[in-house]
Amino acid sequence: MILEGKRKEIGAVAVLLLLLLLPNLVVACMAEELDGFVVKKMGYLAVSLASLFVPALVFKRKVYFLLEGVFCLLLAPIELASMFLNHSTTHFMMMDTLFSTNWHEAVELASSVWHFVLLFLLVLVAYFFLTIRYVRNEAFFPAKVRKWFLVLLSVLFVVGFSYFLILARTLLTSEETTLKDNLVDAKDLMVEKFRKIFPFDVYIATSEVFEHRALVREMQASLSNFSFGLQPKSDEDEEVVVLVIGETARWKNFGINGYARPTTPNLSRQKNLVPFSHLITQANLTSHSVPLILTRADALHRGQADAEKSICEAFSEAGFYTAWLSSQVLTPYQERIINTCDSSVVLDKMISKNSSYDLNLVPSFECLLSQPAPKKFILIHSMGSHFKYNERYPSDSACFQPSFDNTMDFLSASSENAEYLVNAYDNSIRYTDAFLSALIRKMEAKGGVWSMIYLSDHGENLYDDDRKLILHGTLVVSEYEAHIPFLVAYSDEYQNSYPEKVQNLTANKDKNQTSAVVFHSLLDMAGLQSDVVVDSLSIVSLDLRDLDSSYVLNGDMKPIPFDFSQLENAQRRE
């Protein structure tokens, strides 16, 4: 009888452990990040197993399974849903979407997948029945096994940290980087990977959602009394102003700027389009750059971005209907602004990763153009060319081959594989061309007075020279990170309404400037007369300054001097 009871307990424990580990097994099989990497799958499962058994060193067997059932198994549907919808582990946007779902939406969703809900309830009942009926409340492991387990944990940590140290030295080392910097980077990379281990990913994402929402409320309250003092335009004529903020696009790889490859076939044929030749970003990371684009702040006065409202709120004061479209993950800063807009569409909040291509924003953009409000300001924040470049466009849009694909991870980003990286990057630029052209076609079909500015938040390094820099956010701020595409498009009706502004725009296209011009230029382009607009920072004013040098915030948020002669030197090297 004792032997029979022991066998039943072993069988029950095996089933319980399999149920607890099921989400991790699904991740190992389905996660895009692990696809094609046997070593990474094994590493993920090893860390998952280690994490699963750590509480067993403290709690007795029955208590352990009861606690794991409550704090782990109950969260399994979230992880499985994220995998089947996104092929990725649970992240911030997944939890933010769940917490944004009201009761009626939750009931509707549950009723549409009732058979899965029923199956999960049956699994829960079986799990707790097996735990209560067959598992004894004794120590999970003998003392000797616990010692060996701690040794294995130590080995796993050393191996993992060594891997991330090699990764940090491969990708993040520059001429100013020290070994201490690499150790910190390795720690950050390791923590970032650990955040993707179930169930910790669910808890971390949930914590981030609440922190995010608290910060948004705090920022909104601090600006409640701020005003630009703008007055609505007296006329009721229809007018649309559009700002498109791209991602990781660099000036050099746009065909319209002289690049040898046909990366912008549509924009190159577009009438009423003015490309600027010497405009740089104010920061080489998105989180630093976007607030400077949207406000009157600059690289030397970053705090002004938090002390004032944004361009969206400025247009709202001027009587414009405001909207935000995004295929990006939102920051608290952006969420605060979105809460003030009349309308918003965020593709990542639609959960499914397959819907996050930039072109999928076009239908929503078309709907906004049909809104009854006569004056509209629409801000679009696209995914553009964010690494991994090949994930920014459908596979059938890959024009340049061979290219970086999902069988290649970060360690594959080496100077030896530069051809693959550049091909994938250029494919993403070509997809941006299709996206921007689609937006323009929708405005042309609608007709009337419209204007659009497109710029990237920052550029990208692609092993361009002997420095062998890759990606962005470096401490040195290369010309490839700083030099960004900046395009202005407008309708015939806009030219008829503002002929002098169009003339000035064309005259200014080769001046040296920074993304600080965006706020002032948009208001000036819309004919909004105010002391808020600084003529020396407006691209449609003859008083636009022609700079010799400026500052760019590096990855550490330090303002680095940037001489515009660097752009000319880069072109000569090419």
d(CA 141, CA 152): 15
d(CA 41, CA 25): 9
| Tens of pLDDT, residues 532-563 | 999 999 999 999 999 999 999 987 778 999 99
Backbone angles phi, psi at 503, to 5 degrees: -65, -45
Q: What residues contact residue 310 under an 8 Å CB cut-off, 6+ apart?
A: 294, 295, 337
Q: Which CATH superfamily is domain 237-573 in?
A: Alkaline Phosphatase, subunit A (3.40.720.10)
Beta 461-462 vs 343-346: how paired, if at all? unpaired
Least confident range of 170-174, 243-247, 350-354, 555-559: 350-354
Find the helix packing angle between 61-71 and 2-30, rounded to 10°.
30
Query: Smallest Cα–Cα separation from 382: which of 433, 313, 427?
Result: 433
Q: What is the mean pLDDT of the chain?
A: 86
Sign of the four-CA dihedral 21, 24, 28, 30: positive
User: CA angle, corner 247, sides to 174 and 389, nearest 5?
Assistant: 75
| Tens of pLDDT, residues 181-205 | 777 777 776 777 777 888 988 998 8
Q: How many separate helices (H) and strands (E) can be counted in the chain? A: 21, 13
Backbone angles phi, psi at 371, to 5 degrees: -60, 145
- Most distant CA pair in the chain, distance: 96
Burial label for 99, CB within 10 Å (0-12, 13-18, 19+), is: exposed
Question: Are 300 and 292 spatial neighbours (Cβ–Cβ below 8 Å)?
Answer: no
d(CA 433, CA 436): 5
- What is the 3-class SS of 364-404, one letter each residue? HHHHHHCCCCCEEEEEEECCCCCCCHHHHCCHHHCCCCCCC
Q: How close are the terminal C-alpha atoms of the chain, in Å?
A: 82
d(CA 156, CA 566): 46
Question: Are 87 and 32 spatial neighbours (Cβ–Cβ below 8 Å)?
Answer: yes
| Tens of pLDDT, residues 257-299 | 999 999 999 999 999 999 999 999 999 988 889 999 999 999 9
Q: How far is CA 237 from CA 320, 444, 448, 493, in A?
A: 12, 17, 9, 12
| Tens of pLDDT, residues 5-56 | 678 888 888 999 999 999 999 988 888 777 767 877 888 888 888 888 888 8
Domain boundaries defined on the chain: 2-209, 237-573
Q: Which long-range contacts (CB under 8 A, 24 or more apart) does 497-506 make?
A: 497/449, 497/527, 498/525, 498/527, 498/540, 501/525, 501/540, 502/540, 504/539, 504/540, 504/541, 504/542, 504/544, 505/274, 505/539, 505/540, 506/274
Answer whether the bond into residue 402 is a cis peptide, omega within 30°.
Answer: yes
pTM of the predicted model, to two decimals? 0.71
